[in-house]
Each structure stands twice: as C-alpha cells, then as structure tokens.
Amino acid sequence: MKILSSEITPEKIYKNRRKFIKQLGLTSSVFYLAPGLLNSTHASNNLTDYNYVTSYNNYYEFGTGKSDPAQYSKDFISNPWSITIDGEVEKKIILSMDDIKKLFPSEERIYRLRCVEGWSMVIPWMGFSLNKLLKKVNPTSKAKYVKFESVLDPEQMRGQRYPILDWPYKEGLRIDEAMHPLTIMVTGLYGKELPNQNGSPIRLMVPWKYGFKSAKAIVKISFVEKMPTSSWMKASPREYGFYSNVNPNVDHPRWSQATERVIGEGIMSPRIPTLMFNGYEEEVAHLYKDMDLKKYY
Ligand code: MTE
C-alpha cells in the first residue's frame, strides 16, 4: 500500500520539501510510507521536525553528547569523497560520490530510526537500495558478510582523538540482509543534501535494526568470509550483538526495549510500543527463520 507523504506531513514542511526536491531536480522521487508505520498510532506517524533530526544525534566521531555532532561537524569537509568496495570480490572498485549520484538516483524512503537508547524519529530519507551498489562487483564464493567502515579523519573529527570506540567506526551485515531492498544507502533527508551530523555524504540505513547499525560517512564496504566485529560489539559484547534487530521482547541488559520515546512529541507524551523488527516483520522475519533471537541479539 502506498501513501503520499503529503498525507502525514504538516502542509508547510511538505511544500518546502517539494520546493527543495524541485531545486534538486528530483521530481521523479518515489514517495511512500513504510508499511511498518501503518501499524503504529497516529501521533507516532508524524515526521520528526527537521530541527530535531539535525540537532539530536549520535555520531561519536564528533563527541558523545546529543548536540555535539551538530556543533562540531559544522566545518567537516566531505567533498571529494569515494567508496571502495573490496574484499572477497573478483575485482575491487572505487566509486566517487559523483559516480554514485549518477548511477543510483535517490528516492524518498520514510523510515523510523529506533535507537537502542529507547527513542525514535520518523525521517524522510533520500537514498537507494544498497543492493544496486553491491551488484557492481562479483563476490567470490567465500563471501558471507558485508563489512562497513566509516571515515578515519581525526584532524576533522575531534572524537577520534580519544579511544571512545574502535576507530574507524565499523558495522556489518549478513549478505542477505545487505541485499534486502529495504536496506538503503542514504544521501539526503527532507529532500536536501545529507547534513554533516547525519553522516554526510553517504551513510547506511537498515530500518529493522537499531540505529547504530546505520553507519555514517562510509568510505569502505568489504565482502568478507567471517562475521565482522562492529565497533559496538568490541566496546561491549554483552550489550551489543551482531544482529541488533529491533525486538521489543529482548531487553538490553540494562533496560527494556518494549517501548520508545518519540522525539519531538513533548515530554508529557506517552511512550509508544516498539514493534517487532521496527514494524517490518512481514518483510524481514524470513531472514531469521529458525534462529533464536535471544541468542542472536
Ligand atoms: N555512525 C558513525 N560513524 N558513528 C556513530 O557514532 N552512531 C549510530 C549511527 N551511526 C554512529 C553512526 C547511532 S548510535 C545512531 S542511533 C544513529 O547513527 C543516529 O543517526 P542520526 O544522528 O542520523 O539520527
């Protein structure tokens, strides 16, 4: 079922957005409301205000506070940029951001980002399915996982001067998860270029997993044989597993994951129930058939 985002977006934002999109020459974008959102309550379907999306962030390369990324990424230069796809592939490739924009036009995808900390936002991302990019290389028969690496640039990223995480930021997916059409590479939001604090110029977004799987400022994607150890798994293996699927039935060791706070709804608003796979059960549950999701958290 397809619903125009104009039906759930405050009029003014929507009009502005259409204007931006026109300016970017993206009028052919596909607008649709992700199916997971249809199951949740009305208030939680509203798009999160642009100001919250760009001022309440997690991006430890720029600091651990929620307002650090907006404050300290202002001068971050992400142009020129390229992504290397290597590892267990017949021939590695390097694509510039210009190549990527030409080869893979972005379309709008409205996805909820559910953070492992217990809050969520509904964001109109601009992006394209990661599988289009991955299909540019031929993986060898050894390839089983896909590893993602964010940029390493301590000169521009003050957080990387401290050993807060295992830099560069690393994440991983199983190949079938990476190839799923819902998994996207994001190049913008609200019809605009991706702001620095949200992972400019390109980031991952896996809507059925906790937000930390969606690595920002990606420079390398590698096909690998062994399950990659992500920066969060390395920091705290008891708390962060490889799969990290949104799952209201499996608590984080220190708090429940049953509900979430919708950012921008006001502190008096009740928390809303968290949905299995963030609302994408129908689309992705088959990937985990016969797996004990308490064990593979
Ligand atoms: N990517 C990098 N490189 N560094 C980070 O610290 N934080 C993750 C994820 N991607 C992070 C990252 C976490 S914990 C979340 S919740 C989301 O980015 C937040 O994305 P947003 O700031 O665009 O909402």
Q: Within 10 A of 60 (CB to CB), how many other CB atoms are there?
A: 23
For residue 25, is pLDDT > 80? no
CA gap 59, 75 in Å, rounded? 15
Per cent of the chain over pLDDT 90 is 84
For ligand 1, mutation pick of 216, 257, 262, 263 (most atoms within 8 Å of CB): 216
**Number of domains present in the structure of the chain:** 1
Residue 199 resides in a domain:
yes
- Helix or strand or coil: residue 278? helix
For ligand 1, mutation pick of 212, 213, 257, 262 (most atoms within 8 Å of CB): 212
For residue 259, is pLDDT > 70? yes
- Give CA separation, 41 vs 36, 184, 248, in Å: 11, 25, 16
Residue 296 resides in a domain:
no
Taking CA atoms only, the protein residue closest to ligand 1 atom 22 is 57
| pLDDT for 24 | 47
| pLDDT for 45 | 77
**Ligand 1 closest atom vs CA 53:** 24
| pLDDT for 31 | 43
Helix (DSSP H) and strand (DSSP E) numbers for the chain: 10, 12
CA gap 252, 86 in Å, rounded? 33
Residue 297 resides in a domain:
no
| pLDDT for 37 | 52
DSSP 211: G
Residue 218 resides in a domain:
yes
Give the model's confidence band at 58: pLDDT under 50 very low, under 70 low, under 90 confident, else very high.
Answer: very high
**pLDDT tens digits, one per residue of 138-174:** 999 999 999 999 999 999 999 999 999 999 999 999 9
| pLDDT for 266 | 85
For residue 62, is pLDDT > 80? yes
Q: Which domain holds residue 28?
A: 5-288
**pLDDT tens digits, one per residue of 82-112:** 999 999 999 999 999 999 999 999 999 999 9
Tell me the CATH number at 212: 3.90.420.10
CA gap 292, 297 in Å, rounded? 9
CA gap 108, 46 in Å, rounded? 15
Residue 245 resides in a domain:
yes
Residue 117 resides in a domain:
yes
Residue 82 resides in a domain:
yes
How many whole angstroms from 140 Cα to the centroid of ligand 1? 30
What is the Cβ-side half-sphere exposure of residue 248, based on CA atoms within 13 angstroms? 13
| pLDDT for 100 | 98
Residue 165 resides in a domain:
yes
For residue 297, is pLDDT > 80? yes
| pLDDT for 121 | 98
**pLDDT tens digits, one per residue of 210-245:** 999 999 999 999 999 999 999 999 999 999 999 999
Residues lining ligand 1, CB < 6 A? 57-61, 113, 115, 150, 169, 198, 211-212, 214-217
For residue 192, is pLDDT > 50? yes
